[in-house]
Structure 1
Amino acid sequence: MDTKREKDQDADCDKITAALLKSRTGEFDLESILFLKLRGLGIHDLGCIGECMNLERLDLSVNNISNLAALASLRHLSVLNLSSNKISNLESLRSCENIQNLNLAGNLISSTDSLHCLQSIRKLENIRFKDNTYNYTNPVCRNVAYRTVVLEMFPNIKVLDGERVVGRGSDLYQLCKDIDDTIKAGLYKNGQLVEHPDCKPWVEDHFWEIKRSNNAIVEEAYKQFNDVLHECRLLNNRATHVISQTERSMSLKKQPKQYAI
């Protein structure tokens, strides 16, 4: 019963409190918290989150957050997920100088001018303003020059919106893209879709299943890996749907027209 009551309280907590943080992490001292996931709890007020001075990874995605002032004291943050909130002002992140990975997809950022405050974060390597997997975006992404401007503002960025833009990873990305294009080209012959036998999976069933761990760092890595697997499954489902629609459409085109006599 106590566990159920705690879950019910977490379901819509509105404000971050010391009691909430202790119940979620098991840590009595807030400064001992290194990893924190508060996704989808209806949070509006960040409350005492600023007291978690040693936080390194923080997930506040899918909430109702608009004011980031409480995050200004979190100087050790390296990974920050603020996707799917109501954020338009990023000024409070200026002092979070150790952020390397920042997810802002699905917010209300309207202009690249709002991003200048992030230029002081020299370690920033991965930044996201849109996420096609979850249909998250920002108004700024509608600007035709958005990508070019962002890359000029952040010359050290290695990954933008999930796509590698510099380094060896970008070469791998381009190679994969070329392979995909080649495969797509091979699916058609004289403009017609060619039938192919079903492909076998690369690995056996349950290959990607992960074991639980009592180590907090390993457990956090498992959670992040699970999130990636979830995104992959969503992409696979969408790809299957698109392929099915395309095949159905082409099948209809091949059928001879029938005329009433």
Structure 2
Amino acid sequence: MEPWAEKGEAGETVRVTAQLLKAKTGEFDLESILLLKLRGLGISDLGCLGECASLEWLDLSGNAISQLGPLATLKSLAVLNLSANRVCSLEPLGACENLQRLDVAGNLLSSLQQLQCLAGLRRLESLRLHDPRGRLTNPVCASGAYRGALAELLPALKAIDGQRLSGRGSELYQLCRDLDSSLERGGGAGSPEPPGMALPWVEEGYWEWRPARRSSIAEEAYRQFSAALRECRELSQRADDTISQAERALSLRSDPSSYVF
């Protein structure tokens, strides 16, 4: 067992200790730690993590964390990854006033009321509850309308589950969604008859292959290259002839003493 792992009454558990934090960061002063990665260590108790007062980036993904109490003191925390844990309450995070990005995909959050505590976080821009790539979700995501309700609950959000809600690019995203919806409605029963043959988007012959035009510069370069290639071939032939003559001359000398070194 590692020196920072502690065994409790219910069996072996991993608790965050000063020794663990120093071993992971190389910092002896916990208040000097700015970035901390504690992914997949089996942590179930955050222990003294709240003493890292200057912490700005924290990755606790892939553990067994259910209680977030110590995080309430992390006033400088901006990025927090709690994916793949056992969290069912985010209440302590309401005190993390500088939090900007939060990932809680793969936990036990079952209702929007459990997210109400984040309403006071004015800098929170990105919230992830569902991650299809990692097959991580929360019970609250079972309702397809949770994103819209979450956007109303937390109007400062710019992205939910990686999808932009406001800012650059959001208008195009909404336009595409509206277009998809209109196409789906238009394909149902009772829809009006489609118009005549659709006009092409480009002029006729746009996609036909056309031979590339060769400029005078390209023509001159091609001519010079051909000349250089012919010259190389001539030099190669001369070299072969010279080698053949030398080999014939050497073969005519039967007396080894006639060789000059």
Task: Give the TM-score band, short-chain normalised.
Answer: 0.5 to 0.7
> What residue in structure 2 maps to residue 65 of structure 1?
65
> What residue in structure 2 maps to residue 127 of structure 1?
127
Distance 2:104 2:141 in 1: 12
Cα pair 2:158 2:166 within 8 Å, conserved: yes
The Cα of 1:102 is off from its aligned counterpart by 0.3
> What residue in structure 1 maps to residue 152 of structure 2?
152
Distance 1:6 1:174 in 2: 51
> Structure 1's 70 and 7: CA in aligned 2 closer, same or farther, altered over 3 A?
closer
Distance 2:150 2:177 in 1: 22
What SS does the corresponding residue of 2:135 show, helix, strand or coil?
coil
Distance 1:26 1:15 in 2: 18
What SS does the corresponding residue of 2:130 show, helix, strand or coil?
coil
> What residue in structure 1 maps to residue 81 of structure 2?
81
What SS does the corresponding residue of 1:64 show, helix, strand or coil?
coil
Q: What do residues 111-157 of structure 1 show as CA deviations (whole Å, max 9, x unaligned)?
A: 00101100011100000000011000000001232111100011111
> What residue in structure 2 maps to residue 104 of structure 1?
104
Distance 2:4 2:20 in 1: 12
Q: What do residues 2-55 of structure 1 show as CA deviations (whole Å, max 9, x unaligned)?
A: xxx97997xx97110100000100000000000000000000000000000000
* More divergent stretch after superposition (104-113 vs 145-154): 145-154
What SS does the corresponding residue of 1:80 show, helix, strand or coil?
strand
The Cα of 1:169 is off from its aligned counterpart by 3.1
Letter in 2 for 1:19: Q
What SS does the corresponding residue of 1:58 show, helix, strand or coil?
strand
Report the TM-score when normalising by structure 1: 0.62
Cα pair 2:4 2:16 within 8 Å, conserved: no
Q: Which of structures 1 and 2 has the bigger CA Rg?
A: 2
Letter in 2 for 1:151: A
Letter in 2 for 1:142: A
Report the TM-score when normalising by structure 2: 0.62
Structure 2 spans left out of the alignment, 5+ residues: 6-11, 179-261
Structure 1 spans left out of the alignment, 5+ residues: 179-261
Structure having the larger proportion of residues in helix: 1
RMSD between aligned residues: 2.5
> What residue in structure 2 maps to residue 246 of structure 1?
none
> What residue in structure 2 maps to residue 56 of structure 1?
56
> Structure 1's 117 and 177: CA in aligned 2 closer, same or farther, altered over 3 A?
closer
Cα pair 1:13 1:41 within 8 Å, conserved: no
What SS does the corresponding residue of 1:40 show, helix, strand or coil?
coil
> What residue in structure 2 maps to residue 140 of structure 1?
140
> Structure 1's 97 and 8: CA in aligned 2 closer, same or farther, altered over 3 A?
closer
Aligned length: 173
> Structure 1's 132 and 7: CA in aligned 2 closer, same or farther, altered over 3 A?
farther
Calculate percent identity across the aligned residue pairs.
56
> What residue in structure 2 maps to residue 168 of structure 1?
168
Where in structure 2 are the equivalents of 1:9-20 lying within 5 Å? Answer: 14-20=14-20
